[in-house]
């Protein structure tokens, strides 16, 4: 154990703490990821202290020089963490004292780890969210540009995992791009609401030194300053909002992964995944497993679990800071790492997969044009509900004869409704089918092209915001 004088709060406590309690309380094993932003916050705070007169300029310069040295040590991997370092804040302060002496003790004047840690976490997340945003935009861009190139490919669309109606492959790709675009907008909202400075709030009552919080805001490039000190040191809304965004993003990625897993099976054979994103079996030589997509799907549960955990932590807390809030950082770090990995892998999968156009076309069976047959009757003047019933009768008749619906004779169809004419044969054309959906958002080529143009413009705006 460290000597009493080495402990930050040694004046109040006597004896030593239970070593298991020390281990439980310490966060240095993971919050050292905040090292650089912790130094940034300390540099800004030293400048603010100098302005109050508490810190002479010469001492401020020594502190700044020491902090720059510590930053260099972290960047080079030369910083030595000691077993007495409880967290990143005490580790940096301990090292600063080793470099410049007792002057280092002035840096914490009027500042609490309560406002220090929430400031650090916001700075870390602000940087991390920008990286995530870029990865997300790249994935959306990959989907959109692939949709533009492969716009003429048609395949069955599915509901309830049953063949439903023919669609363009591009319509499928863009359906996922649109969902991810909402996620990108959501992320921008999280970044905007998070960009509020908590530093200068002290432990809970505020800062007693008339600290210039506008100076702190400017130095750390926050958009605004927190209004209430008690709220500022304890609020973790920005953590919950980030984890909520991440959960919804992972749900969207999981859905896309599941679709592609199904499409890549030998039973479907619509797409072939690159070997780069697949693995084999330890027993079965023929296997090519879509592990990349399965891992994306699996990580969705992990991210949701992080959200559920932090919500439960926050639910039972009284006002201001409580040690329970130490749980926020591991959740954030884990989810940041997860998103960075899965977004890059998802982009790689989309950019390298091969489509099997012949298999897609082979899967286009006549019965998925049944709604088109009903619309044929509608255009002849029949109410849709009756057209639905008569088309159902045609399907049943074809099944009873053991033939596809397009092989029913005109006499067969006329036995169901006299509105059927020789022009009914034009219904059974997959290209004509997709081309009738010209309304905004539909799968006609003109509509899909409009979606692509819209998303390209939206990507430009989102990139500027990122």
pLDDT digits (tens, 9 = 90+) for 104-156: 999 999 999 999 999 999 999 999 999 999 999 999 999 999 999 999 999 99
pLDDT digits (tens, 9 = 90+) for 385-424: 999 999 999 999 999 999 999 999 999 999 999 999 999 9
Prediction pTM value: 0.93
pLDDT digits (tens, 9 = 90+) for 12-37: 666 677 888 888 888 898 999 999 99
In this prediction, residue 333 has a pLDDT band, given cuts at 50, 70 and 90, of very high
Task: Give yes or no for residue 5 having a pLDDT over 90.
Answer: no
In this prediction, residue 11 has a pLDDT band, given cuts at 50, 70 and 90, of low
C-beta separation of 125 from 242 below 8 A = yes
Predicted pLDDT of residue 189: 97
In this prediction, residue 7 has a pLDDT band, given cuts at 50, 70 and 90, of low
Task: Give yes or no for residue 466 having a pLDDT over 70.
Answer: yes
- What residues are labeled active site? 160, 281
Mean pLDDT score of the chain, rounded to an integer? 95
pLDDT digits (tens, 9 = 90+) for 191-232: 999 999 999 999 999 999 999 999 999 999 999 999 999 999
Predicted pLDDT of residue 21: 85
| Number of neighbours of residue 189 by Cβ within 10 angstroms | 11
Reduce the secondary structure of the chain to three states and give it as a string.
CCCHHHCCCCCCCCCCCCHHHHHHHCCHHHHHHHHHHHHHHHHHHHHHHHHHCCCCHHHHHHHHHHHHHHHHHHHHCCCCCCCCCCCHHHHHHHHHHHHHHHHHHHCCCCCCHHHHHHHHHHHHHHHHHHHHHHHHHHHHHHHHHHHHHCCCCEEEEEECCEEEEEEEHHHHHHHHHHHHHHHHHHHHHHHHHHCEECCCCCCCCCCCCCCCHHHHHHHHCCCEECCCHHHHHHCCHHHHHHHHHHHHHHHHHHHHHHHHHHHCCCCCCCEECCHHHCECCCCCCCCCECHHHHHHHHHHHHHHHHHHHHHHHHHCCCCCCCHHHHHHHHHHHHHHHHHHHHHHHHHHHHHHCEECHHHHHHCCCHHHHHHHHHHHHHHCCCCHHHHHHHHHHHHHHHHHHCCCHHHCCHHHHHCCCCCCCHHHHHHCCHHHHHHCCCCCCCCCHHHHHHHHHHHHHHHHHHHHHC
- Helix (H/G/I), strand (E/B), else coil: 272: strand
């Amino acid at each position: 154990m460290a000597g009493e004088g080495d402990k930050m709060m040694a004046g109040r406590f006597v004896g030593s703490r239970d070593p298991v309690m020390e281990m439980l309380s310490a966060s240095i094993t993971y919050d050292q990821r905040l090292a650089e932003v912790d130094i940034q916050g300390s540099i800004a705070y030293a400048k603010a202290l100098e302005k109050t007169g508490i810190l002479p300029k010469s001492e401020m310069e020594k502190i700044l020089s020491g902090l720059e040295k510590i930053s260099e040590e972290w960047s080079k991997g030369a910083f030595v963490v000691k077993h007495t370092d409880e967290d990143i804040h005490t580790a940096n302060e301990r090292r600063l004292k080793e470099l410049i002496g007792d002057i280092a003790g002035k840096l914490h004047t009027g500042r609490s780890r309560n406002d220090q840690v929430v400031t650090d976490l916001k700075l870390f997340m602000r940087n991390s969210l920008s990286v995530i945003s870029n990865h997300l935009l790249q994935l959306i861009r990959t989907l959109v540009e692939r949709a533009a190139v492969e716009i003429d490919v048609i395949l069955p669309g599915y509901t309830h995992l049953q063949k439903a109606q023919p669609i363009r492959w591009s319509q499928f790709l863009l359906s996922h791009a649109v969902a991810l675009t909402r996620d990108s907008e959501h992320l921008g909202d999280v970044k905007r609401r998070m960009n509020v400075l908590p530093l200068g709030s002290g432990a809970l009552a505020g800062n007693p030194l008339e600290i210039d919080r506008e100076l702190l805001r400017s130095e750390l490039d926050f958009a605004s300053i927190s209004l209430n000190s008690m709220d500022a040191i304890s609020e973790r809304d920005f953590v919950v909002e980030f984890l909520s965004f991440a959960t919804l993003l992972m749900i969207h990625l999981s859905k896309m992964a599941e679709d592609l897993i199904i499409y890549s099976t030998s039973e479907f054979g619509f797409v072939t995944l690159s070997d780069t994103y697949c693995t084999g079996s330890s027993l079965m030589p023929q296997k090519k497993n879509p592990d990349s997509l399965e891992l994306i799907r699996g990580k969705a549960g992990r991210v949701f679990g992080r959200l559920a955990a932090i919500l439960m932590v926050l639910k039972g807390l009284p006002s201001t800071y409580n040690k329970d809030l130490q749980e926020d950082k591991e959740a954030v770090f884990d989810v940041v790492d997860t998103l960075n990995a899965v977004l890059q892998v998802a982009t790689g999968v989309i950019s390298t997969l091969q489509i099997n156009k012949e298999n897609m076309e082979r899967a286009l069976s006549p019965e998925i044009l049944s709604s088109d047959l009903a619309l044929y009757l509608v255009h002849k003047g029949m109410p849709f509900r009756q057209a639905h019933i008569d088309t159902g009768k045609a399907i049943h008749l074809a099944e009873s004869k053991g033939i596809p619906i397009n092989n029913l004779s005109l006499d067969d169809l006329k036995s169901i409704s006299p509105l059927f004419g020789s022009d009914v044969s034009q219904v059974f054309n997959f290209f004509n089918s997709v081309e009738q959906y010209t309304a905004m958002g539909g799968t006609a080529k003109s509509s899909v092209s409009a979606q692509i143009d819209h998303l390209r413009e939206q990507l430009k705006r989102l990139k500027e915001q990122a």
